[in-house]
Structure 1
Amino acid sequence: MTDGDQQPGEAAADRELPADSARAGDGEHPTDGGVAEAQWLASAQSPAVRTRARRRWPLWAALTVVVVLLTCALPSVLLVGLVGGAAGRTATADDPATATARRRGVRMSAQLDRQAAALLSGDRNGFLAIAEPEARADLTRRYAALRALRVTVWRPAADGVPGAVAGRPGEWQLAVRVGYCFVVPDCTPASVVIGTRWRDAGEQPRLLAVEESRTAPAGARPWEVSDLAVAVGTRTLVATTPALRARLPGLLAQAEAAAKIADLYAVGGPPPDRYLVFYAGRAEWRRWYGGGRPRWTAGYAVGVGGGHHDVVLNAESLSPTGVDDLLRHELTHAASLPDRGYSDRATWWLVEGLAEYAGADGQPVGRYDGLAEVRKLVRGGWNGRLDGLAPADDAADDRVGGSYGVGYLAVRHLVDRYGEQRVLDFFKAVVHDRRSVDEAAEQVFGEQWSTLHDDCVGYVRAVAG
């Protein structure tokens, strides 16, 4: 699901739901920093055109979409020399220490460029050649994971100048921003900042260590920290750990089917060039992209820059019958959310409602899995405001499921009244262009939002009975 950037969409409830309940939810709270998560409860998630079967999930699955705000625009060439932020300036403009650091950074840049060329050409020995023995085990694993993911662009660039490592004479640290693409050679690259540590060795400094990225809010990518098994389809790439490799054929088929639905909900441009789905075991769920998701989260979408959103599924929270809905929901987040995420928590109902609508796959409203939770929420004192639906991270499962359900019904009512295209136009105006719902409603629907809001709430109450 989409949770705008790893902070908005993850919250989990510890309580078990009935065996026939399951839904996904986006969990983190949207923030201006690029965080807009969407979590789903462990029951069913996202749009499609077929009946959503009930699933036996112990917890609501939360779908989280995380959108990372990256301020740096990356060029479209495959490799760019690694030059420090101001390395283009003449050394005479710097004091001697700074000038020396810049020259050191240029030498590190050259080494990283050699490594990048080796990675793209499939030369493992060349990839490892710039590193000292203690770094090679980690680099070997990274190389294998990146090659399995079919890396097509790997563009390192220094993020500043090298700094001395305290207490380690002759060692230097350098932050490196890497633009990368998988499968598609001409994509707009995603971006990650990685810490590196070096030893002086004349004109060819030696790489001592590569740290896990901590690019806020996305955190460490799977290919940085795990061995990966990968399956590639026409529209999707699915990756997991070797222990779960047997799931790949089925997951790939399900992801390919979900992508056809999600493509219909692309907002603000064409659908993603390729959807990336990572299927996480218990340890990976806690580590990939920073972990820390609410317990009611079964999946999330996290923005990684360049308009890309990686989708992560929690293997422990999913039953075989729940994966299809969850994938439709999460891939719809990846297709519909802006790269910068969404910043207004009051629009959570719209972001999650669209993903739920897509996940429901055209089924009749009466067959929506979350109706029981909607009834409980409506009859339990809900104040009737869509802008206050977003559940807290520690919300109970039925509260989370009811919130997603109300969002779904509100979007469903707008679609029934105005059609999908006008609802997508409304979504774009509110979530992408950041216009007020009042302005967007007047522009797109020719109606006052206060009237439409009351109509949506009336529809929700009518369906809830």
Structure 2
Amino acid sequence: MTDGGYAAGDNPMPTDTTRTDGMPTDATAGETVPAAAAVPDRRRRRRWPLWSALVAVVLLLAGGVPAVLLADRLRGGNVGTPATAASPSENPTTIAARQVAERITAQLDRQAAALLGGDRSGFLAVAEAAAVRTDLRRRFASLRALRVTQWEARANGLPTSAGKAGEWRLAVEFRYCFVVPDCNPSPLIVDTRWRDGAEPRLLSLGKSKTAPSYGDRANGQPGSLPWEVSELVSKVGRRTVVATVPAYRHRLPGLLKRAEAAAKVADGYAVSGAAPDRYRIFYAGQQEWKRWYGGDHPEWSAGYAINVGGGHYEIALAPDSFDYGTGLDSVLRHELAHAASLPQKRDYSDDSTWWLVEGVAELAAVDGQSVARYEGLDSARRLVKGDWDGKLDSLIPDEDTSDDQVTGSYGIAYLAAQYLIDRFGEERLFAFVKAVVHDRRVPAQTSEEIFDESWASLHKKCVAYIRAAVR
């Protein structure tokens, strides 16, 4: 689904789904971590154009306000863009804010270089408060465990007074990559507070803000990310990186092996043609499940995939997902298929296409098994013979929907996708997914173009197939 995933019910089956080195040893227990790929020094050297210096001299000679040079990045421009001169008539308060932002940016640049270089002391040096240093120490260890390969920080707007002399509030945008050096970085914006000086000091550091509700997570920031709030250990494979808290370190080898197998299946569901550079998978303990990504998950959720920006989805697995036995393999195939098949943009979510998003993920979950062996068939039968109105666009379950109805909804979605792929093949099904889910075109606009049949007729035949399959 939008946050695609598996639901945890009384019967832990693959259909119980939700919506969709630097560092020589593991940060917490001495486990060897593979060396991170070499990354370039991210520190920025500002080279001001000659004309900018001349403008400043002219202004000084004319008795005007001295030009204040500030990297264009402080106004949302590209990192490393040459600074431009402030207007002579610019408000003095704005000029002061720009100067503060420039000093803070220099600190953030030094901190980024320290993180990428494995220098923990340098990473912590920016902080003044002891609590912030503790927070940064944990973040440093977790980011290094995840093999951070890109880390950039820039002001998101100008700082504002924090109410005390010499203290400022500033929204900071961080952009990061894991494992892959040249990935499209994931962004997040957090609130910070600083004490100004020649080298400003960090007083408080916020966390990624949560979108308003469970159903809206694709339309905003995902909430607190695992590395923001938890100490993590990890293992890296050819297609996946798996991480958890130290208490579950012993589960990482098995999880990595199963994740790598699931990735081979999920790669075949890259609707846009490009599979993720790495699938990011986080196994949660009880407390982490309540905190990661906002913690706002339906009770029936056993896992989900969530958009973190930059074309990346992260998969969270519920604490009891290892109790599912081989069902965990289905969960992984389902969630990784979401990461491969869903669009990069955050605003794709549409309840009316839930059946298609989840149906495609269920095709990956079953991995070619026959319809007769689908474990959610009984639940689908009860729903078809019960409350279902016969419309695919009304299938999405609520947060308080019963486990059996949730499983039934996923089952119907699976049968609909199975009908389409059996009749039209993978290529045309994926073209339909791209048109409807990625490009936000309604089925009625695309059905004849892709399937040579009206959606009204095709929907009727699809529902007939579903009813026959559960008879």
Provide TM-score, normalisation by structure 1: 0.84
Q: Shift of the alpha carbon at 1:343?
A: 3.2
Asked if structure 2 preserves the Cα contact closer than 8 Å seen for 1:278 and 1:313, the reply is: yes
Share of identical aligned residues, percent? 53
Asked if structure 2 preserves the Cα contact closer than 8 Å seen for 1:175 and 1:196, the reply is: yes
Q: Equivalent of 2:339, from 325, 334, 337?
A: 334
- Are the structure 2 counterparts of residues 93 and 153 from structure 1 closer, same or farther at C-alpha, using a change threshold of 3 Å? farther
Give the structure 1 partner of residue 59 of structure 2: none
Give the structure 1 partner of residue 217 of structure 2: none
Aligned ranges 1:335-350 → 2 under 5 Å: 335-341=340-346, 342-350=348-356
- Are the structure 2 counterparts of residues 446 and 205 from structure 1 closer, same or farther at C-alpha, using a change threshold of 3 Å? same
Aligned ranges 1:19-418 → 2 under 5 Å: 19=11, 21=13, 23-27=15-19, 38=20, 83-85=73-75, 88=84, 90=86, 92-134=88-130, 135-166=132-163, 168-201=164-197, 203-214=198-209, 216-319=220-323, 320-341=325-346, 342-418=348-424
Q: Shift of the alpha carbon at 1:11?
A: 11
Q: Which letter does structure 2 place at the counterpart of 1:205?
A: P
Asked if structure 2 preserves the Cα contact closer than 8 Å seen for 1:229 and 1:240, the reply is: yes
Give the structure 1 partner of residue 28 of structure 2: none
Asked if structure 2 preserves the Cα contact closer than 8 Å seen for 1:406 and 1:460, the reply is: yes
Q: Shift of the alpha carbon at 1:163?
A: 1.3
Distance in structure 1 (CA, Å) of the matches to 2:181 and 2:315: 20
Secondary structure of 1:126's counterpart equals helix
Q: Which letter does structure 1 place at the counterpart of 2:244?
A: T
Q: Shift of the alpha carbon at 1:379?
A: 0.8
Secondary structure of 1:380's counterpart equals coil
Q: Which moved more, 1:219-228 or 1:310-319?
A: 310-319
Q: Which letter does structure 2 place at the counterpart of 1:190?
A: S
- Are the structure 2 counterparts of residues 237 and 162 from structure 1 closer, same or farther at C-alpha, using a change threshold of 3 Å? same
Count of aligned pairs between the two proteins:
408
> What is the root-mean-square deviation of aligned Cα atoms in Å?
2.1
Q: Which letter does structure 1 place at the counterpart of 2:186?
A: A
Asked if structure 2 preserves the Cα contact closer than 8 Å seen for 1:79 and 1:155, the reply is: no
Asked if structure 2 preserves the Cα contact closer than 8 Å seen for 1:12 and 1:393, the reply is: no
Distance in structure 1 (CA, Å) of the matches to 2:456 and 2:262: 34
Q: Shift of the alpha carbon at 1:91?
A: 5.1
Give the structure 2 partner of residue 56 of structure 1: none
Q: Which residues of structure 1 form unaligned runs of 5+?
A: 28-37, 39-75
Asked if structure 2 preserves the Cα contact closer than 8 Å seen for 1:188 and 1:307, the reply is: yes
* Rg comparison, structure with higher value: 2
Asked if structure 2 preserves the Cα contact closer than 8 Å seen for 1:10 and 1:393, the reply is: no
Higher RCO by CA contacts (8 Å cutoff, separation 6 or greater)? 1
Q: Which letter does structure 2 place at the counterpart of 1:23?
A: T
Q: Which moved more, 1:116-125 or 1:339-348?
A: 339-348
Give the structure 1 partner of residue 47 of structure 2: none
1:24-80 CA-to-partner distances (Å, cap 9, x unmatched) read 3234xxxxxxxxxx2xxxxxxxxxxxxxxxxxxxxxxxxxxxxxxxxxxxxx99566
Asked if structure 2 preserves the Cα contact closer than 8 Å seen for 1:10 and 1:294, the reply is: no
Give the structure 1 partner of residue 2 of structure 2: 3
Q: Shift of the alpha carbon at 1:138?
A: 1.0
Q: Shift of the alpha carbon at 1:12?
A: 7.4
Distance in structure 1 (CA, Å) of the matches to 2:422 and 2:196: 66
Q: Which letter does structure 1 place at the counterpart of 2:221?
A: P
Distance in structure 2 (CA, Å) of the matches to 1:314 and 1:361: 22
Asked if structure 2 preserves the Cα contact closer than 8 Å seen for 1:298 and 1:318, the reply is: no
Distance in structure 2 (CA, Å) of the matches to 1:172 and 1:264: 49
Provide TM-score, normalisation by structure 2: 0.83
Q: Shift of the alpha carbon at 1:464?
A: 0.6
Asked if structure 2 preserves the Cα contact closer than 8 Å seen for 1:301 and 1:333, the reply is: yes
Q: Which letter does structure 2 place at the counterpart of 1:123?
A: D
- Which structure dedicates a bigger proportion of its chain to helix? 2
Q: Which letter does structure 2 place at the counterpart of 1:368?
A: Y
Q: Which letter does structure 2 place at the counterpart of 1:147?
A: R
- Are the structure 2 counterparts of residues 89 and 297 from structure 1 closer, same or farther at C-alpha, using a change threshold of 3 Å? farther
- Are the structure 2 counterparts of residues 170 and 420 from structure 1 closer, same or farther at C-alpha, using a change threshold of 3 Å? same
Q: Which letter does structure 2 place at the counterpart of 1:249?
A: P
Distance in structure 1 (CA, Å) of the matches to 2:265 and 2:465: 25
Is 1:427 the counterpart of 2:422 in the alignment? Answer: no
Asked if structure 1 preserves the Cα contact closer than 8 Å seen for 2:74 and 2:158, the reply is: yes
Distance in structure 2 (CA, Å) of the matches to 1:180 and 1:311: 17
Distance in structure 2 (CA, Å) of the matches to 1:338 and 1:192: 18
